[in-house]
Amino acid sequence: MLVHQILKSKGDTSVITVTPGTSVTEAAQILAERRIGGVIVSTDGRRAEGILSERDIVRSLALRGAVCLNESVDQMMTRNPVCCTKSETADSVLQRMTNGRFRHMPVVEDEELVGIVTIGDVVKARLEELSMEKDALEGMIMGH
């Protein structure tokens, strides 16, 4: 299973981005409205300069209090996020997410954003694939 198949199965390939100057409050509102856990930070909507996850916001709130909500996302985001390409395998992405302890990965082609996959997308796609493989193997063993 490849990343491009995961993107296809998600249907909606739009990527939600915010600019570096967006306030953390606005970014939190976007996360809540769109029911997502992370947003890519990009000036032009094409290059992933950073990523801001709900974890970054929670961590900053715990360490520094509500003052961080008025800051801009570029003060809180993780810079130069680890990215994958459409031709990478789901297993490789899963491995890199597990090793890096993050759940979001921008998908880029020629350094331009073409999508985002979450650990949930990858696990769902792999489970569906394993279920289909199981059905096919059962079919072969039972002779149908």
| Count of residues that interact with ligand AMP, criterion CB under 6 A | 13
Work out the angle at residue 27's Cα, subtended by the Cα atoms of residues 80 and 106, and round it to the nearest 5 degrees: 35
Closest residue by beta carbon to ligand AMP: 53
* 103 is a site residue for ligand AMP (CB under 6 A): yes
* Min CB(20)–ligand AMP separation in Å: 14
* 56 is a site residue for ligand AMP (CB under 6 A): yes
* 114 is a site residue for ligand AMP (CB under 6 A): no
* 51 is a site residue for ligand AMP (CB under 6 A): yes
* 81 is a site residue for ligand AMP (CB under 6 A): yes
Work out the angle at residue 57's Cα, subtended by the Cα atoms of residues 123 and 61, and round it to the nearest 5 degrees: 140
Nearer to ligand AMP, 1 or 82 (CB): 82
The CB-based long-range contact list for 115-118 (8 Å cut-off, 24+ gap) reads 115/3, 115/7, 115/10, 115/13, 115/15, 115/86, 116/15, 116/38, 116/40, 117/3, 117/6, 117/7, 117/10, 117/84, 117/93, 118/37, 118/38
* Min CB(137)–ligand AMP separation in Å: 34
* β 112-118/50-53 pair status: unpaired
Give the interface segment with ligand AMP, choosing from 10-18, 19-27, 87-95, 96-104 (CB under 6 A).
96-104
* Min CB(56)–ligand AMP separation in Å: 5
Q: What are phi and psi of 106, to 5 degrees?
A: -65, 145
> By the criterion CB under 6 A, which residues form the site for ligand AMP?
37-38, 51, 53, 55-56, 78, 81-82, 102-105
